[in-house]
Amino acid sequence: MKKAIVLLSGGLDSATTLFFARAKGYKVHALIFDYGQRHRKEVHAARRLARAAGCDLKVVKIALPWQGSSLLDKKMALPGNRKLDKQEIPSTYVPARNIIFLSFAASYAEAVGAQVIFIGANAVDYSGYPDCRPEFYAAFRKALARGQKVGIEGRALRIETPLIRKTKTQIIRLGLRLGVPYHLTWSCYAGGKRPCGVCDSCRIRTQGFAAIGAKDPFFK
């Protein structure tokens, strides 16, 4: 059976990507990162999603002691109700996060014989992170082809970004068709008992559900 690694954060996009990969017939290995994020609730959400999808899961705990992001440094204020400008990279950007995550995923994939890595990156309704853009993934694919045994042998890993050019509304519609249990997801950067409703992630998600007139179970 063909195998895939899915980077699973516990948020809306990664949950949709998980169920998308499963619908494509892959035996999914969910890879979850506990990297010291202030919204660690997403790790618990990711575990629940992996169980709901009936797939294997692995949680990798890593430390980024140099911080450099308001998602890691609780002394830094999280941006709220800011103007969403894709040309401005917000303080929630974690330096080289997707490079780090994809490197782990590539190692995992090669070790278990997976042919593809799925990541729910999005370059339409997003906060302006440089590692969510198509040109980054094009470059990383080339790096893997030249830096891994499977690549040298002509069996280079594929990196699939099925959501990268979709709006949040399109992603939600796709997820609803796939039966994604959005009530199990966690998107808020603040990581409190209830979603804050004002961080970029909460607002982009809210706008996506509102556009199709659907109730977001995240804000029950």
Condensed to tens digits (0 to 9), the pLDDT of residues 130-173 reads: 999 999 999 999 999 999 999 999 999 999 999 999 999 999 99
3-state secondary structure of 59: strand
Q: Is the pLDDT of residue 199 over 70?
A: yes
Quick one: tokens of 52?
């709901």
- Cβ partners under 8 Å of residue 22, min gap 6: 28, 53, 55
Q: CB–CB of 114/104 below 8 Å?
A: no
**Residue 103 is which amino acid?**
S
Structural domain for 214, as ranges: 3-219
Note the pTM of the prediction, 2 decimals: 0.95
Query: What pLDDT score does 84 carry?
Result: 66
Give the number of domains in the chain. Answer: 1
Looking up residue 137, the CATH number of its domain turns out to be 3.40.50.620
Average pLDDT over residues 31-48: 95
Confidence band for 53, pLDDT divided at 50, 70 and 90? very high
User: Mean per-residue pLDDT for 42-68?
Assistant: 97
DSSP strand pairing (56-61 vs 27-34): parallel
Q: Cα separations (Å) of 164 from 21, 30, 93?
A: 14, 19, 18
- Sign of the C-alpha dihedral, residues 101, 38, 43, 183? negative
pLDDT per residue as tens digits for the range 84-138: 666 788 999 999 999 999 999 999 999 999 999 999 999 887 777 899 999 999 9
Whether the per-residue pLDDT at 1 is higher than 90: the answer is no
pLDDT band at 36 (very low <50, low <70, confident <90, very high): very high
* Pairwise CA distance, residues 50 & 4, whole Å: 13
pLDDT band (50, 70, 90) for residue 220: low
Q: What is the mean pLDDT of the chain?
A: 93
Which of the pair, 15 or 192, is modelled with greater confidence?
A: 15
- pLDDT in the model for residue 161: 98
In this model, does residue 13 exceed pLDDT 70? yes
